[in-house]
Amino acid sequence: MPVDGRIARGDATRRLVLRRAVDVASVDGLEGLSLGRLATELELSKSGVFALFGSKEELQLATIDAALAIFRAHVVTPSLSAGPGLPRLRAVCENWLNYSERRIFPGGCFFFNVGAEFDARPGRVHDAVAAASGAFAECIREAARDAVALGHVDADAELLAFELHALGRAANADAVLNGGTRAYELARRAIRARLAGT
């Protein structure tokens, strides 16, 4: 059955808008998004962009979903090719630091930035940001639990995961604020030392 050309064009426009939206939100926050701004920047009709999302909140939620798909593609999915336990735990940490350092999003880690923006605000957007951030924290915990269960490391898995997560977040925050790559180098050294010394 052939796809209706309008539907295909609408899907393509939605992808274009969301790709720009994740970049804008990584720098200016989800509150920095507006249907009008995106329409102007992409030279689209405001009514057309509004028809794709319907409201600013729906745009914000769709932007979170789009950012999560990009994050998974750069961090989580490649990590799954590493063996379980310590190899996967190392891969998750390294892929995360690479994702932030390469500025897949111009503002650094999308979820670190919008997490700070919405951490104290209740509502659907907060819940979506918290769920996405929580899913990645659980990914690190799962890899740490497997590493402990397989005898690769001798550590409290939850504490180890928390420490590794904190090192990645600190590297992102420092590098975004101060520039340069030194924070990533230090985080990599600290992660290697922590995993070697468990």
Q: What pLDDT does residue 49 have? A: 87
Q: Binning pLDDT at 50, 70 and 90, where does residue 8 land?
A: low
Nearest-angstrom CA–CA distance, 106 and 24: 8
Question: In this predicted model, what pLDDT tens digit does every residue of 50-102 receive, in sequence order?
Answer: 899 989 999 999 999 999 999 999 999 999 999 999 999 999 999 999 999 99
Domain range summary for the chain, segments of one domain joined by +: 55-196
User: Taking 80 as the threshold, does the pLDDT of residue 10 lie above it?
Assistant: no
Please report which residue ranges of 43-179 form alpha helices under DSSP H: 46-53, 56-71, 77-79, 86-101, 110-118, 124-149, 157-178
Nearest-angstrom CA–CA distance, 32 and 82: 37
Q: Are 184 and 101 in contact (CB under 8 A)?
A: yes
User: Taking 60 as the threshold, does the pLDDT of residue 198 lie above it?
Assistant: no
Q: What percent of the chain has pLDDT over 90?
A: 84
Q: What is the pTM of this model?
A: 0.89
Interacting residues of 110 by C-beta distance below 8 A, sequence separation 6+? 22, 25, 26, 67, 70, 71
Q: Binning pLDDT at 50, 70 and 90, where does residue 11 land?
A: confident
- What topology does CATH give the domain 55-196? Tetracycline Repressor; domain 2 (1.10.357)
User: Taking 90 as the threshold, does the pLDDT of residue 48 lie above it?
Assistant: no
